[in-house]
Amino acid sequence: MAKKWSIVFFVFVLIIFGFSLRSIAGCKSDCFDQYQSEVESCRDQYDDPRDAGMLQTCIDDAKREYQSCIDECEN
């Protein structure tokens, strides 16, 4: 009987772990989608070659926000 409960518990843990991984993957995907959108917005906003420095700053900010989002997903 104890072996049966051990198997049930193990299966339960695997199911919970699977849902957690899927949740993290979805979160990271959302972060990436947001990052791509922000970079595209940067490119639209700073399309003049004279704005190259501002474009780089905007993209760097988007990268920092992306990394922050990923960190939140993993916590």
Q: Which of 4, 1, 73, 75 is nearest to 33 (CA)?
A: 73
Q: Are 39 and 59 in contact (CB under 8 A)?
A: yes
According to the model, what pLDDT value does residue 68 have?
A: 97
Domain boundaries, the chain: 2-74
| pLDDT per residue of the chain (75 residues) written in tens, 0 to 9 | 666 666 655 555 455 555 555 566 789 999 999 999 999 999 999 999 999 999 999 999 999 999 999 999 988
Sign of the CA dihedral 31, 33, 38, 39?
A: positive
According to the model, what pLDDT value does residue 19 have?
A: 52
According to the model, what pLDDT value does residue 10 have?
A: 57
Q: Which structure tokens are listed for 74?
A: 């993993």
Q: Are 55 and 43 in contact (CB under 8 A)?
A: yes
- How many residues are listed for the chain in this entry? 75
